[in-house]
Structure 1
Amino acid sequence: MSTFSNLTARGGLFVRFLQLSQVSRTISSSSSMKSKQSLVGFIGLGNMGNHMARNLLKKGYPLVIYDISKDSVKKLQEDGAKVATTPAEVASQVNRLVTMLPASAHVQEVYTGNNGIFSSVQKGSLLIDSSTIDPSVSQEMAKLAQGKGATFIDAPVSGGVNAARDGLLTFMVGGSETAYNLAKDLLSSMGKNVVHCGTVGTGQAAKICNNMLLAISMIGTSEAMNLGIKLGLEPKLLAKILNMSSGRCWSSEVYNPCPGVLDGVPSSNDYKGGFGTALMAKDLGLAQNASTVTKSPSPLGSLAHQIYRIMTNSGYADKDFSSAFKFLQDKKLNS
């Protein structure tokens, strides 16, 4: 065959490749649009869940929602979400459902209780739990879901309320590769990073390790800020120095616990909103349980757990966990 014929044949193949690629993109786009047309369920509309659900609405996903707080559902309902009266009612209408709940007990109740998700879940449904709970509970829910012909994955989040609001969360996903791929587009509409960690429960494992480190660094940042201020340093200047030095961390740079250093964070709003101290104490309890089971020494994690438990019992339970700074300045503590 002549050189010209070879080139012509290759050119034809190239054109055919472009045509097939265009068809593939069209099918992919069509599937995505079809996916967005079907209802998605969302249960748990607290400080994090409310923002996450709103971002799904913004990205074009129609929602049916449930929360025990009527105030939590009101604004989302005004923005177009359907409201259900029970978790079972949500599950009966969807084949993809996200839950964002405070603790293991809440997850167990919402999934297995009277009028719970498993009482009406549809076969083939994908159940995504973004709560931070004991990995063994995630594994238990996955087994129960399998018995109902559904798939359960754990996908806890990191980033805080501002990241939830701005769609910049990190999702740590535990489940099969297939389930991860099915969930990825939905999770990407609420976050910036979606990481597959392994089998069910590994997402929770990653999250409790992250939160243990976060709690330790927040207490350390609070101690450093408090000491520097007592030594006569201006708070914003001290924070600037820390953040250009080796002490820099997320707690100092993005979520500084000292009031007035950063705008738009709980410390500058009387520690309202954000991630509650009681929830941090709960997560540290999960980390300590895991440390005991795996015989992994975590002395600083244990101390942080004790501090947040004391804070929880000292009037800080509903304040953001960065109120460790305020706790250190408490006159009772220093008397």
Structure 2
Amino acid sequence: MNRTVAFIGLGHMGAPMAANLVRAGHRVVGHDLVPAALESAVAAGVLPAPSAAEAVTGADLVLSMLPAGRHVLGLYDEILPAARPGTLFVDCSTIDVADARTAHGRATAAGMRSLDAPVSGGVVGAEAGTLTFMAGGGEAEFAEALPLLDAMGGKAVHCGDAGAGQVAKICNNMILGVSMIAVSEAFVLAESLGLSHQALYDVASTASGQCWALSVNCPVPGPVPASPANRDYRPGFAASLMAKDLGLAANALRAGGIHAELGLRAAELYERYAERAGSAEDFSGIVRTIRERSTERP
């Protein structure tokens, strides 16, 4: 059944997600604080709204894709009074677990229903409609949102109650960040010992070292033609976003008293790398930092 969807946050991720909803036949009313972002979404068939509050008026479902928890909570304060009672709010931002649970609480207190549904797959996945959604909230709410999530992604997993989607996201990206550092260090070690990139890839990609960071997002040019390394590390998944996600994971690790040396160290390394690379480089570009800091050679 086609729905009227309000989509707030039409940046690099939100715009192609909204466009995929339009292609699926839904009526999408969008808003973004950046005029150029809104114009781009309108070109893809999104109906413009002059404010977020006006976008949600009459919507069956409200989607949001914003940078941080404070933006989500500020948005909810603005739009909850404007929405129809019982409207389903689905936040696809990657934010702190505590902020996600606070957003759920505010929505419920206002007579609404909600899901946290962060995504994995980056801009490429958003454009291709192959994102993975990790949802936290009620089973009925997940079932209602599922047709729209399917229109924007290749897989949607109901992870549990409020905040569970954010938990799954930060755990997944902690695995990814740690594994990318390990793969990058292995390639730099191989270089220093005279082993070619292709030889290491041919072995590790079919042996116990095989992982997504190697076989899909290989941090060196050559072995995987589609990886950002072959485009001078243009993202992809930007270094700043990985630093953000690992920072959220680090906060949760410390709050929970979890002994996780690699997760915390990965957060430190990506924070340092992102200070230089920002959003201009893919997170796999950390291999260049490792190479630059490896001043001693055998």
**TM-score over 0.5 (shorter chain):** yes
- Alpha carbons of 1:140 and 1:170: their partners in 2 closer, same or farther (altered >3 Å)? same
Say if 1:276 and 1:320, in contact at 8 Å, map to a contact too: yes
Tell whether 2:27 aligns with 1:62: yes
Tell whether 2:257 aligns with 1:295: yes
Which of 205, 210, 233 is equivalent to 1:243?
205
Summarize deviations over 1:49-103 as a string: whole Å, max 9, x none.
Answer: 2222222122112211122233323333122211122221211241211111122
Q: 1:185 corresponds to which residue?
A: 147
1:269 positional shift: 2.3
Tell whether 2:68 aligns with 1:103: yes
The separation in 1 between residues aligned to 2:175 and 2:129, in whole angstroms, is 23
1:44 positional shift: 1.9
The separation in 1 between residues aligned to 2:203 and 2:125, in whole angstroms, is 24
Taking the TM superposition and a 5 Å limit, the aligned residue runs for 1:137-156 are: 137-156=99-118
Match of 2:157, SS state, is: strand
Taking the TM superposition and a 5 Å limit, the aligned residue runs for 1:190-229 are: 190-229=152-191
Say if 2:240 and 2:277, in contact at 8 Å, map to a contact too: no
- Alpha carbons of 1:139 and 1:245: their partners in 2 closer, same or farther (altered >3 Å)? same
Q: 2:225 corresponds to which residue?
A: 263
Match of 2:223, SS state, is: coil
Tell whether 2:16 aligns with 1:51: yes
Say if 2:18 and 2:46, in contact at 8 Å, map to a contact too: no
* Structure 2 residue identity aligned to 1:103: A
* Structure 1 residue identity aligned to 2:140: T
* Structure 1 residue identity aligned to 2:263: G
The separation in 2 between residues aligned to 1:252 and 1:235, in whole angstroms, is 11
The separation in 1 between residues aligned to 2:116 and 2:280, in whole angstroms, is 25
RMSD between aligned alpha carbons?
1.9
Which of 255, 259, 273 is equivalent to 2:235?
273
Match of 2:135, SS state, is: strand
Summarize deviations over 1:182-216 as a string: whole Å, max 9, x none.
Answer: 11111111112111111110111111111111100
Q: 1:39 corresponds to which residue?
A: 4
Say if 1:56 and 1:190, in contact at 8 Å, map to a contact too: yes
The separation in 2 between residues aligned to 1:187 and 1:285, in whole angstroms, is 26
1:302 positional shift: 0.6
Summarize deviations over 1:286-320 as a string: whole Å, max 9, x none.
Answer: 11221122221111001001101111223445422
Q: What residue ranges of structure 1 are gaps of 5+ in the alignment? A: 1-31
Tell whether 2:127 aligns with 1:165: yes
Once superposed, which parts of structure 1, at least 4 consecutive aligned residues long, lie more than 4 Å away? none
The separation in 2 between residues aligned to 1:46 and 1:255, in whole angstroms, is 23
The separation in 1 between residues aligned to 2:38 and 2:191, in whole angstroms, is 42
Match of 1:181, SS state, is: helix
Identity of aligned residues (%): 39
* Aligned residue-pair number: 296
* Structure 2 residue identity aligned to 1:75: S
Say if 1:121 and 1:148, in contact at 8 Å, map to a contact too: no
Match of 1:329, SS state, is: helix
Say if 1:235 and 1:258, in contact at 8 Å, map to a contact too: yes
Q: TM-score, normalised by structure 2?
A: 0.92
User: Normalized per residue, which structure has more helix?
Assistant: 1
Which of these two proteins has the greater Rg computed from alpha carbons? 1
Say if 1:173 and 1:202, in contact at 8 Å, map to a contact too: yes
* Structure 2 residue identity aligned to 1:244: T
